Amino acid sequence: MSVSVSGAGEFDLEIEDDGRGFDGSGTKKKPGRGVANIRARASMIDGEVEWKKRDGGGTKFKLSKLCQSSITT
């Protein structure tokens, strides 16, 4: 897992695993709302999410958000 904030105020959270992978195409094998809930919660903070398969197995998840400074001068 890694978390970073760039000088331009972009916040990134990345989580990787070495499991069997994840199919983010929207084709469901089991009923559930997990992916839809993650997308809905990210949109509540104007964030973006993405999933990618890792070479050799596993999944990489990324949440990105442009943060605005709350400091005024």
pTM: 0.69
pLDDT score recorded for residue 21: 60
Phi then psi dihedrals of residue 40, to 5 deg = -65, -45
What are the chain's domains?
Answer: 2-66 (3.30.565.10)
Q: In this structure, are strands 10-16 and 48-53 parallel, antiparallel, or unpaired?
A: unpaired
Q: What is the DSSP letter of 61?
A: E
Structure-block tokens of residue 28: 């469901």
Tens digit of each residue's pLDDT (9 = 90 or more) over 22-56: 666 656 566 778 888 989 999 999 999 998 888 88
